[in-house]
């Protein structure tokens, strides 16, 4: 089976812009979770989608949003980018949910200038 695929791998944006990141989970996995990783804060949970519904959400402002399509592919959107949004954004899929074994993609490195 193909692994979790995230696109693009790298992004450079300027403050105030918006960005959309994409994640294709492992075939058959219905749960997709998103994480933000920074050197200072470590790995922080953004949200989980399961069967097109947001099932859980972390403590991030409303500028961070996501959605999941019927084929389980997920997108994450960040609007009005701030310098502090620069991070590695990781997507993970799971057969059973966000509390179970997560299979991670390689991540999208976002730099906000």
Partner 1 sequence: SQQGEEDPQALSIQEGENATMNCSYKTSINNLQWYRQNSGRGLVHLILIRSNEREKHSGRLRVTLDTSKKSSSLLITASRAADTASYFCATDAMTGANSKLTFGKGITLSVRP
Residues that bind partner 1 (CB under 8 A): 4, 33, 35, 42-43, 45, 48, 55-56, 58, 88, 90, 92, 97-107, 109
In the chain, the N- to C-terminal Cα span, in Å, equals 37
DSSP state of 96: S
Which lies closer to partner 1 via its Cβ, residue 63 or residue 99?
99
Residue 83 half-sphere exposure toward CB, CA atoms < 13 A: 1
Sequential DSSP letters for 1-32 = ----EEE-SEEEE-TT--EEEEEEPPTT--EE
Q: How far is the CB of 41 from partner 1 (least distance, A)?
A: 8
**Residue 79 Cβ vs partner 1, minimum distance, rounded to whole Å:** 23
Q: Of the two residues 56 and 65, which places its CB atom closer to partner 1 in the complex?
A: 56
Residue 83 DSSP SS3: helix
Q: How far apart are CA 71 and CA 83, in angstroms?
A: 33
Minimum CB separation of residue 80 from partner 1 in Å reads 25
Residue 44 or 79: the one with the smaller Cβ distance to partner 1 is 44
Residue with Cβ nearer partner 1 (16 or 84):
84
């Amino acid at each position: 089976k193909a692994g979790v695929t995230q696109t693009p791998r790298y992004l450079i944006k300027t403050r105030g812009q918006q960005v959309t990141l994409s994640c294709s989970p492992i075939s058959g996995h219905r749960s997709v979770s998103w994480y933000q990783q920074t050197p200072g804060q470590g790995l922080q949970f953004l949200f989980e989608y399961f069967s097109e519904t947001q099932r859980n959400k972390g403590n991030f402002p409303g500028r961070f949003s996501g959605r999941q399509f019927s084929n389980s592919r997920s997108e994450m959107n960040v609007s009005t980018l701030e310098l502090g949004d620069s991070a590695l954004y990781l997507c993970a899929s799971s057969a059973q949910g966000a509390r179970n074994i997560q299979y991670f993609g390689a991540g999208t490195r976002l730099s906000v200038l």
